[in-house]
Amino acid sequence: MKPLNKVIVNKDTSFNPIWIMRQAGRYLPEFREIRKDNPNFINLCLNDDLSSEITLQPLKRFDLDAAIIFSDILILPYGLGQKVEFEKNFGPKLGELNLNEIAKIDEIDFVKKIHRVYKAITKVSLDPVLGNKNTIGFVGAPWTILVYMINQQSPKKNLKKDFFKDKFLINKILLIIEKFLKVHIKNQIESGADVIQIFDSWAGLLDEKDLPNYIYSPTLNLVNYVKSLNVPVICFPREIKNYKEFCDIVKPDAVSIDYNVDPKKILKDINIPIQGGLDPKILLTDKDTLKKEASKYLDIFKDHPYIFNLGHGVLPETDLNMFEYLIKTVKNY
């Protein structure tokens, strides 16, 4: 059995597998080397030779238990024909959203545009470097994808005042997003992904009253869909106001927590396997602090199925020695 399945499916508490969000990324010199010659980020994701190589880069260096495929949640709007670019020191920039154009896209057009992501997944899952480790596929949650498609950039702290103005448009787009997220999930699994993580990076922007419509209901549909394909599903509803309510309603196989979540409280509140939590900024301090903070999570979750990870992606300025020290700390615990 693969390491994440032992914890998520078998509820094994005898060890803590570890993988790190954004483990394939800018803190690695070998990634920056490839990135330097590939200024177009989406094209890099769609180059299956390079994206499979990038996916495996962290596993060649470190004793990680899973590969997460090098792609992006915004590959979905790209596949739907919306322009998606990444600008240095700014982040994603999306083009105008044209409902008429998007409504015309069918499954074949969509898969044609992004099929090389699936090729990369197959390459990774068959590579000897992966061995018996997990291949994690992922999608953005419908709400987070909707935010980017309408807002056309990261919303930072707030949504535009008129975000919900056109309810008709929003509801139409949400249905289209949901349909193609299922297509994207199915193709990733058929290509070799054996765990799916759903990133809801902007769950924290919503008032409680809007959670059922924009988070619980669409995410529950996706979670049930992944379960129907017999693959474990991890949800990361970052900064959502009530993780317990989210887990009670959406029932993912495991939940990933952000660094503002009190680990002791969540341990009391929910009984599904837990992942993550440690603040990525702790990796910018020193080894003693890192060991102390990582051990805090390991101590609290010692009798609970727990996958080690951070509370958000690893920061680009992270020192490789600190990254390695974190993995050793978890492995030697």
Beta strand 134-140 with 91-94 is unpaired
DSSP class of 215: I
Residues 154-183, mask of contacts with ligand CP3 (x by CB under 6 A) = x-----------------------------
Considering the rule CB under 6 A, would residue 259 count as an interface residue with ligand CP3?
Answer: no
Q: Which is nearer to ligand CP3, 102 or 198 (CB)?
A: 198
- Least distance (Å) between residue 99 CB and ligand CP3: 22
- Least distance (Å) between residue 148 CB and ligand CP3: 7
Considering the rule CB under 6 A, would residue 121 count as an interface residue with ligand CP3?
Answer: no
Q: How far apart are CA 286 and CA 331, in angstroms?
A: 19
Between the two ends of the chain, the Cα-to-Cα distance in Å is 21
Q: Which is nearer to ligand CP3, 15 or 86 (CB)?
A: 86
Which of the stretches 16-24, 99-107, 117-125, 247-255 binds ligand CP3 when contact is defined by CB under 6 A? Answer: 16-24
Considering the rule CB under 6 A, would residue 237 count as an interface residue with ligand CP3?
Answer: no
Q: Which is nearer to ligand CP3, 74 or 326 (CB)?
A: 74
Q: How far apart are CA 205 and CA 210, in angstroms?
A: 10
Q: Which is nearer to ligand CP3, 199 or 289 (CB)?
A: 199
- Least distance (Å) between residue 304 CB and ligand CP3: 24
Considering the rule CB under 6 A, would residue 142 count as an interface residue with ligand CP3?
Answer: no
What are 292's two structure tokens? Answer: 């102390």
- Least distance (Å) between residue 308 CB and ligand CP3: 15
Considering the rule CB under 6 A, would residue 73 count as an interface residue with ligand CP3?
Answer: yes
**Single-letter residue type at 128:** P
Asked if 130 and 123 count as a contact pair (C-beta separation under 8 A), the reply is no
Find all residues with CB under 8 Å of 176, minimum gap 6, and list them.
80, 102, 103
**CA quadruple 256, 209, 221, 86: dihedral, nearest 10:** -60
What are 314's two structure tokens? Answer: 């690893």
- Least distance (Å) between residue 62 CB and ligand CP3: 13
Q: Which is nearer to ligand CP3, 39 or 212 (CB)?
A: 39
Considering the rule CB under 6 A, would residue 15 count as an interface residue with ligand CP3?
Answer: no
Closest among 102, 107, 116, 104 to 52, alpha carbons compared: 116
Chain residue whose CB lies nearest ligand CP3: 201
Q: Which is nearer to ligand CP3, 267 or 315 (CB)?
A: 315
Q: How far apart are CA 160 and CA 174, in angstroms?
A: 18
Asked if 187 and 146 count as a contact pair (C-beta separation under 8 A), the reply is no
CA 209 to chain centre: 25
Q: How far apart are CA 132 and CA 304, in angstroms?
A: 23
Q: How far apart are CA 174 and CA 176, in angstroms?
A: 5
- Which member of 24, 75, 234, 254 binds ligand CP3 (CB under 6 A)? 24
- Least distance (Å) between residue 34 CB and ligand CP3: 9
Phi then psi dihedrals of residue 68, to 5 deg: -110, 130
Which of the stretches 18-26, 179-187, 249-257, 300-308 binds ligand CP3 when contact is defined by CB under 6 A? Answer: 18-26
Size of the site for ligand CP3 (CB under 6 A): 22
Q: Which residues bind ligand CP3 (CB under 6 A)?
A: 21-26, 35, 41, 68, 70-74, 86, 91-92, 138, 154, 199, 201, 313
